[in-house]
Amino acid sequence: MGTVEPQVASGQDVKVGSSGQIVANAQSQEVTDGFHLVIDALKLNGIDTIFGLPGIPITDFTRMAQAAGLRVISFRHEQNAGNAAAIAGFMTQKPGICLTVSAPGFLNGLTALANATTNCFPMILISGSSEREIVDLQQGDYEEMDQLAIAKPLAKAAFRVLHAEDIGVGIARAIRAAVSGRPGGVYLDLPAKLFAQTMDAEAGGKSLIRVVDPAPRQIPAQEAVRRALELLKSAKRPLIVLGKGAAYAQADADIRALVEKTGIPYLPMSMAKGLLPDTHEQSASAARSYVLPEADVVMLVGARLNWLLSHGKGKTWGGKGHKDWGGQRFIQVDISPQEADSNVRIDAPVVGDIGSCVSALLAGINSAAGSSWAKPPAEWLAAIAERKDKNIAKMAETLAKNPTPMDFHSALAVVRDIVKANPDAILVNEGANALDFTRSIVDMYKPRKRLDVGTWGIMGIGMGFAVAAAVVSGEPVIAIEGDSAFGFSGMEVETLCRYNLPVCVVVFNNNGVYRGTDVNPTGGPDVAPTVFVKGARYDKLIEAFGGVGVHATTPAELRKAMEEAIRSRKPTLINAVIDETAGTESGRITSLNPSAKRK
């Protein structure tokens, strides 16, 4: 139990006991308060880190949490703290905690909470809130806002605790909601008054709950597994798609065994890269545009058929028109029973946690009535290999060029080598071209090493993810950032320096959003909306806080700086000057711009 600062429970005749606790004369009781009950409840559930930003009413909470041995990582903007919490949740399967003040701080954290929910990252946004009586009558309290109502539609669940004796239940419910089933963002509203409430320490301790089995396994039905395996067996051109959910599951060995035992080519979604090394011979990444329309049976493992997979239909999948079904039959392994049929018919849904589902599928394959599982037809594998080899050779040619100025490819050839030499390093990535080229060029070798913009393609995750990745893993972090993307969280380079984190930020500086070449068609003094200050020196930013800044205009300079950053583990920002003409509108998703659709 945490003990309280000398504080008087109202109306009681008290004295301070030998260990500083409050002793009431009547029953000789120790008291605790809301602050300590929240801290104790978190600690009781194995939470060791809080990402946040102090202010009324949670400043003292951050101090007491630190005093109680929790790691409290303070940010410069709540959105970055929220993103840190979310990705910590993804990496650890424990809910990441983000702590903010009321209204504006809460709102700043809310984008990260919504993004976490969309991406199925378990996090809990804990915000202090103002006086309920005043908020509910809209009488204009300090930072007045009905936060619970606002959070509800954006979170997987939202709770408020009004009484100290309910803190244990509140934290337990938040933890269960965040990590069980399909994980997501949970909002927990803690009014200012709650923190100061006192209660008997022993009763308080007893009111806390250590959550037993917070994310229970969900075993798939045998019938569903059998149906899926039968469909898979009937395939002539099978394909496995591994999603972020498969990476989250931490069932790495079984997933690899499933892919290798079946011999089926696979495609990793962005954050599933590295589940098997990207250099694996069964990886079909370099032949994506061939395998999607050609496959006849597709097994989705923790991957949703959303826009990132063109909704499972249309021309990407061999359909005639943009909404036409391509003829594939789908097996979908997912924790949510509602996911199947969201976009196209799923012939064989397998519902359960990815780990249990994959192990059940493997068991079915291994026991295939004595007969060993037949590998996919050789023509299918040969056709994929042919495309792959061609595309990989083409890419190697492009990467070997050394143009002046440096372009995305020549810079990423360096990043690719550095990641290969440091497979434990974590790669954070955002931008448009800076994102798409990195995803396709930089191979990942281990699971959960690539953290990026996820389902929404959200800008601003960069420094929050980088801080959390370094704090949670202790491994070096490389953040490949578009210059626009970096700007959303750039002030957190101070946070990198303050905590002395081994993060190497590489800003791919092409003078703007997508490119630096747009012009104002009116000839007026304002530059075009996508263009930034030309020749900006982002490296100077980190120098202001004692970090290492490097200005790199060639691949050789970039290589030297990245190697040094990884070796030294010093917070480093490399301003990598990229040809401002090299990018394309929106990177790979140009076609989503409305004007591209205009007939």
For Mg ion, give the closer residue by CB, 51 or 508: 508
249 binds ligand TPP (CB under 6 A): no
Write the secondary structure of 491-535 as one string of H (helix), E (strand) and C (coil). Answer: HHHHHHHHCCCCEEEEEEECCECCCCCCCCCCCCCCCCCCECCCC
Distance CA(485)–CA(583), nearest Å, equals 14
* Binding residue for Mg ion, selected from 482, 549, 555, 571, defined by CB under 5 A: 482
* Binding residue for ligand TPP, selected from 510, 552, 571, 573, defined by CB under 6 A: 510
For ligand TPP, give the closer residue by CB, 147 or 510: 510
Instruction: Report whether 172 contacts 213 (CB < 8 A).
Output: no
Residues 556-595 that bind ligand TPP (CB under 6 A): 583, 587
Minimum CB separation of residue 397 from Mg ion in Å reads 25
In the 8-state DSSP scheme, what is residue 182? S
For ligand TPP, give the closer residue by CB, 225 or 573: 573
Helix (H) or strand (E) holding 333: strand 329-334
- Taking the CB of residue 549, how many other CB atoms lie within 10 A of it? 21
Instruction: Report whether 354 contacts 251 (CB < 8 A).
Output: yes
Q: Fill in the amino acid letter for 98.
A: C
405 binds ligand TPP (CB under 6 A): no
579 binds Mg ion (CB under 5 A): no
Binder of residue 485, out of ligand TPP, Mg ion, none (CB less than 5 to 8 A by kind): ligand TPP
Binder of residue 167, out of ligand TPP, Mg ion, none (CB less than 5 to 8 A by kind): none
459 binds ligand TPP (CB under 6 A): yes
490 binds ligand TPP (CB under 6 A): no
483 binds Mg ion (CB under 5 A): yes
Instruction: Report whether 53 contacts 492 (CB < 8 A).
Output: no
Instruction: Report whether 473 contacts 91 (CB < 8 A).
Output: yes
Task: Name the nearest CA neighbour of 202 among 352, 27, 42.
Answer: 27
Q: Token pair for residue 206?
A: 């007893």
The footprint of ligand TPP on this chain (CB under 6 A) covers a number of residues equal to 18
* Binding residue for ligand TPP, selected from 116, 157, 358, 432, defined by CB under 6 A: 432
Minimum CB separation of residue 484 from Mg ion in Å reads 5
Environment class of residue 181 by beta-carbon count within 10 Å: exposed (0-12), middle (13-18) or buried (19+)? middle
Instruction: Report whether 27 contacts 13 (CB < 8 A).
Output: no
For ligand TPP, give the closer residue by CB, 248 or 514: 514
Stretch that binds ligand TPP, among 15-23, 82-90, 289-297, 451-459 (CB under 6 A): 451-459
Minimum CB separation of residue 430 from ligand TPP in Å reads 7
Environment class of residue 192 by beta-carbon count within 10 Å: exposed (0-12), middle (13-18) or buried (19+)? buried
429 binds ligand TPP (CB under 6 A): no
Minimum CB separation of residue 433 from Mg ion in Å reads 7
Task: Name the nearest CA neighbour of 583 among 453, 452, 482, 459.
Answer: 482
For ligand TPP, give the closer residue by CB, 432 or 542: 432
117 binds ligand TPP (CB under 6 A): no
Stretch that binds ligand TPP, among 120-128, 248-256, 353-361, 429-437 (CB under 6 A): 429-437
Length of the chain: 599
* Binding residue for ligand TPP, selected from 126, 158, 485, 501, defined by CB under 6 A: 485
Binder of residue 587, out of ligand TPP, Mg ion, none (CB less than 5 to 8 A by kind): ligand TPP
For Mg ion, give the closer residue by CB, 100 or 484: 484
Partner residues linked to 548 by β-bridges = 572
For ligand TPP, give the closer residue by CB, 423 or 457: 457
Partner residues linked to 512 by β-bridges = 531
Instruction: Report whether 62 contacts 229 (CB < 8 A).
Output: no
572 binds Mg ion (CB under 5 A): no
For Mg ion, give the closer residue by CB, 438 or 510: 510
Minimum CB separation of residue 509 from ligand TPP in Å reads 8
Cβ neighbors of 143 (< 8 A, separation 6 or more) are: 56, 101, 102, 103, 104, 130
- Across 424-442, b (16+ Cβ under 10 Å) vs e yields ebbbbbbbbbbbbbbbbbb
Residues 503-562 that bind Mg ion (CB under 5 A): 510
Residues that bind Mg ion (CB under 5 A): 482-483, 510
Residues that bind ligand TPP (CB under 6 A): 431-434, 457-460, 482-485, 508, 510, 513-514, 583, 587
